[in-house]
Amino acid sequence: MALITLLHGPNLNLLGQREPHIYGTATLDDYVAYTITAAQEYGHEVHAFQSNHEGQLVDAIHAARGASEAIIINPGAFTHYAWSIHDALAAFNGPIVEVHISNPNAREPWRHTSVIAPVSTGSIMGFGMLGYRLAVEVVAAKLSSA
Active-site choice (8, 23, 44, 86): 23
- The region that residue 120 occupies, defined by phi over 0 for left and psi between -120 and 50 for alpha, beta otherwise, is beta
Residue 112 among the catalytic residues: no
Q: Give domain limits for the chain.
A: 3-53+84-134
Active-site choice (8, 86, 100, 132): 100
Residue 47 among the catalytic residues: no
Tens digits of residue pLDDT in 45-78? 999 999 999 999 999 999 999 999 999 999 999 8
Other Cβ atoms within 10 Å of 125 Cβ, number:
18
Report H helices in 24-82: 28-40, 54-64
Tens digits of residue pLDDT in 81-112? 899 999 999 999 999 999 999 887 667 776 66
CA 88 to chain centre: 14
Classify domain 3-53+84-134 at the CATH superfamily level.
Dehydroquinase, class II (3.40.50.9100)
97, 120 contact by CB (below 8 A): yes
> What confidence score (pLDDT) does residue 104 get?
74
